[in-house]
Structure 1
């Protein structure tokens, strides 16, 4: 199977499991929706691991993997469902460590400050900063990118690099669709600003995930034995295609409304027609992650 062929509809992970040694699984939209966990997803990953496979969760969360693990514990996602977590927050920390002698201006809510835990960071205003870390909106339920237009213009005047700690444009939280840091970063990029994206769909987070899997397995896992699972075309599927690995798209996620899934079950032909119109295609698709 390749990401270039027409995607196939599968009922669950079981029909694909024997083809892969490693699953790189998205978190938000696949394992939970920000309010509750999806038990079938945890069950599928646990069963995959029981067959000898490895699971690395790959998230665009702008927080370290350990922090995401604690959040998953709260949702009731069992540790047996995964081997490790790699986040865009982890890669953001590496970018900060590389610039530890420079002043950073932070854009984002207080809940994302664990990015800096244990680092001797100097914070400053836009006028004082050497670069910017953007982790999201201060209030993602009320603000829009227009609320950030003036500070973005100030950053652009100083030609500051922005490290985007969460490249997602939007996220599903319960029944709401909310904007993410990627929306701010995209606006800055469209203004001519320089942006380093720490997570999916960009390659470094996948390199990191495969390195972690190799350490766990005691061997490198070839790309043809790796399956990415996610719900977002722009990040999860595009990232997998760009990295050269197969992907399984979970339809009842960020694109559920476009696919008509809020009003009923999955119609295979409708999903295929929708996927055919996208710039990238998954290898396979399913309604929800299950075994």
Structure 2
């Protein structure tokens, strides 16, 4: 049974590194959470490494730029590893063909234009109109503030009939942008699969993003047997992914599922929490209301 803790400091001494989610844990899409920032800074001050492991569908460079604009201090983390990084590598390897239809907002253009060093001079990926595409690269809805997955059903029907595979750059279903809940690429990919289409995933909870994070940790000197704790508010991404990787998880109840554990956000009901986790067949090592 999961252990409810009041602070990261209660358990952090057992770990060398953190895989920490962003949305719902470190920030709300608009501003950072001061307590979360302080908790990560304290962990690093004691020698720990912090990897911000995010399902953002953009290369790490663009994620860092967003964190800078929000005011997340550099001393709160060591590395950023994104679903965009892992999915981008697959795209340039030709996972869904060389001619692709881009489904996503303009802010994700860096997914195509920022060619990783390993693919410099080797990429033959071309963005083309839907009618010419061999595959779909989905980073989210075109208009994430106003569109819902069902808006894409007619286009997906045509895509399925043509047998187009979809590369999903962000497996998240929804995130909270301030007070507004918006759909992510994962919601579109789920609908496409429901309709009989094929979707490929590379972010949490799937192995490629964890493999990439471990390689980057090794590059900064962390040994292979380092103790890692995953932190996140996504039961089907952060917690499920940690379980699949054999690492401990700290589930944050104050994020996506905040309304499931009673009226006091700072003190989730143990009874409600136990029942909710059992219904989803998940058992995170620890649970905390908010990262602090």
**Equivalent residue for 1:109, pick from 105, 108, 119:** 105
- Distance apart, 1:268 and its partner CA: 3.4
Match of 2:262 in 1: 260
- Distance apart, 1:214 and its partner CA: 1.1
Residue 55 (structure 2) pairs with residue 51 (structure 1)? no
The size of the alignment, in residue pairs, is 283
CA 1:264–1:221: 2 relative to 1, 3 Å = closer
Partner Cα distance (1:245, 1:65) in 2 = 23
1:132-143, aligned counterparts within 5 Å? 132-143=136-147
Residue 189 (structure 2) pairs with residue 185 (structure 1)? yes
Residue 79 (structure 2) pairs with residue 84 (structure 1)? yes
Q: Deviations over 1:197-244 (max 9, x none)?
A: 12011011011111111111253244xx11000001011101111111
1:52-201, aligned counterparts within 5 Å? 52-99=47-94, 102-119=98-115, 121-201=125-205
Residue 211 (structure 2) pairs with residue 207 (structure 1)? yes
- Distance apart, 1:264 and its partner CA: 6.8
- Distance apart, 1:265 and its partner CA: 4.1
- The two structures have a TM-score, normalised by structure 1, of 0.92
Partner Cα distance (1:214, 1:147) in 2 = 43
Instruction: Answer whether contact 1:105 1:129 (CA < 8 A) is retained.
Output: yes
- Distance apart, 1:194 and its partner CA: 1.4
**Equivalent residue for 2:248, pick from 225, 228, 246:** 246
Instruction: Answer whether contact 2:231 2:251 (CA < 8 A) is retained.
Output: yes
User: Where does structure 1 differ by over 3 angstroms across 4 or more consecutive aligned residues?
Assistant: 118-121, 260-265
Partner Cα distance (1:29, 1:263) in 2 = 13
Instruction: Answer whether contact 2:25 2:291 (CA < 8 A) is retained.
Output: yes
Match of 2:118 in 1: none
Partner Cα distance (1:46, 1:272) in 2 = 30
Q: Deviations over 1:20-71 (max 9, x none)?
A: 1110000111010111110111111111111111111110001111111111
Match of 1:219 in 2: 223
Partner Cα distance (2:278, 2:222) in 1 = 38
Unaligned runs of 5+ in 1: 1-5
CA 1:161–1:262: 2 relative to 1, 3 Å = farther
Give the alignment's Cα RMSD to 1 decimal: 1.7
Match of 2:291 in 1: 289
Partner Cα distance (2:173, 2:264) in 1 = 21
Larger mean CA deviation between 111-120 and 33-42 belongs to: 111-120
Match of 1:3 in 2: none
Partner Cα distance (1:281, 1:204) in 2 = 23
